Amino acid sequence: MYDPKSLKAEEFISDEEILETLAYAEKNKDNAELIDSIIAKAELRKGLSHREAAVLLDCTLEDRNERIFKLAEQIKKDFYGNRIVMFAPLYLSNYCVNGCVYCPYHMKNKHIARKKLTQEEVRNEVIALQDMGHKRLAIEAGEDPVNNPIEYILECIDTIYSIKHKNGAIRRVNVNIAATTVENYRKLKEAGIGTYILFQETYHKESYLKLHPTGPKHDYAYHTEAMDRAMDGGIDDVGLGVLFGLELYRYEFAGLLMHAEHLEAVHGVGPHTISVPRLKKADDIDPTQFDNGISDEIFAKICALIRISVPYTGMIISTRESQAVREKVIRLGVSQISGASRTSVGGYTEKERPHDSEQFDVSDQRTLDEVVKWLMELGYIPSFCTACYREGRTGDRFMSLCKSGQIQNCCHPNALMTLKEYLMDYATPGTREVGEKLILDEIKNVPNEKVRGIVIDNLAKIENGTRDFRF
């Protein structure tokens, strides 16, 4: 029985409810009256239910689809302005005891080089990342209680936060590790992590069991209920995602929104972020073995619909996607992107991009400087801001900042100040020139006069060597 408030995976992600939702969407895919009423509701910027969003996903009326894309663009502008938050993944270990059939880290893959960073190697990777200009990381690891126990992850987090190289600092560490216990989530919280990210991979239980045939990840309920345990452990910023390509996208899309509704219903706060990874080629993995790949057009529509269905949830896109696809979906709603990512353990300290322990092929292989310049030339402000969780604005406190309309007096100045740090410390001359001009133009868009004055003051102080200002 479907119950968003239930703590049982099969009740809050009810297969029956998803199938009914898909049938309802199919039946109404050209029902202009219903579609107009759903779009009108989305225009109120309070989100949509999974059923409503599913109808829009199926909608075949071209003019309505255009309205959906326009609305997503507008909501993106209203809620996130033109800021794009930057981050990089850091792979700690590819030891893994699971059998995920789509992932090169799966236990039976004997030809991938297994590596686990020592603390000295973590240091060197972090210094390399700091020297590019990164301030925010997402740490990644396979699941292996012997090689990568929670103590190892915690030690790495400590090391990462402790490294202050030149003007560099990692100020926010997000964590993408396998589902774990409430007690371990509490330890992660105490270690000062930002968001806990865990992709569901697929919400379809039967497929899930086949795609994860062995290892602890085989347990669908344990995996699906992980975010509840994370929240019970005190982590109130959690990041959802599905790996598009494994199952039918319509099913996944409904499941993803139901998961968000469940978190809101039980914990009073929805997901902090949603990631939209698509399956990629990797060692021992051929994505054509999976026949549910989605086109760039459907992918863009999914991004647009996530934007209008959960307006307060940030959306993340990785370097799995090409520059062209990233450009398209940034406009439609993505608020965070990675840059210069290396998906191999120890990859950042290698001169050439290593492929032997890569988790997936990286489509966007540009440097961080190139990505930053590209964003600015498109009119975006690359932001290295990490202020919210450091100021205690997590969970519902972050949501109330969004809802208060104060973002332009808070996130916007933080973006400008952290971009200024980047330009001073890491940018090439060409990027710096574009950035300085952008900052001058954008200062005018800080509405509050007093705040604007402080920002101008702080920008001058950054010019003179002081770092880490924030609202």
Site of interaction with ligand SAM (CB under 6 A): 102-103, 140, 142-143, 176-178, 198-199, 201, 217, 243, 277, 279-280, 282, 285, 320, 359-360
Residue 280 beta carbon to ligand SAM: minimum distance, rounded to whole angstroms:
4
CB 93 within 8 A of CB 145: no
- Shortest reach from residue 226's CB to ligand SAM, in Å: 9
User: CA–CA separation, 276 vs 73, rounded Å?
Assistant: 17
Q: Which two tokens stand for residue 251?
A: 């099913």
**Among residues 333, 344, 430, which one has the least CA distance to residue 88?**
344
Nearer to ligand SAM, 243 or 417 (CB): 243
Which of 62/291 has CB closer to ligand SAM?
Answer: 291
Give least dist CB 105 to ligand SAM, A: 7
As a whole number of angstroms, the distance between CA 447 and CA 412 comes to 10
Nearer to ligand SAM, 234 or 293 (CB): 293
Nearest approach, Cβ of residue 152 and ligand SAM (Å): 14
Question: Do 451 and 471 contact (CB within 8 A), yes or no?
Answer: yes
Closer by beta carbon to ligand SAM, 83 or else 280: 280
User: Which CB, 125 or 143, lies closer to ligand SAM?
Assistant: 143
Q: In the complex, what is the shortest distance from the CB of residue 331 to ligand SAM, in angstroms, rounded to a whole number? A: 23
Q: Give the Cα separation of 306 and 284 in Å (integer).
A: 32
Which residue in this structure is represented by tokens 């579609």? 35
Distances (CA, A) of 323 to 96, 337, 357, 374: 31, 11, 23, 10
Q: Which helix (H) or strand (E) holds 78?
A: helix 62-80
Closest distance of CB 274 from ligand SAM, Å: 13
Q: Which residue has the tokens 């993408």?
A: 176
Q: Closer to ligand SAM at the Cβ: 218 or 397?
A: 218
Position of tokens 């990840």? 217
Q: Which is nearer to ligand SAM, 176 or 386 (CB)?
A: 176
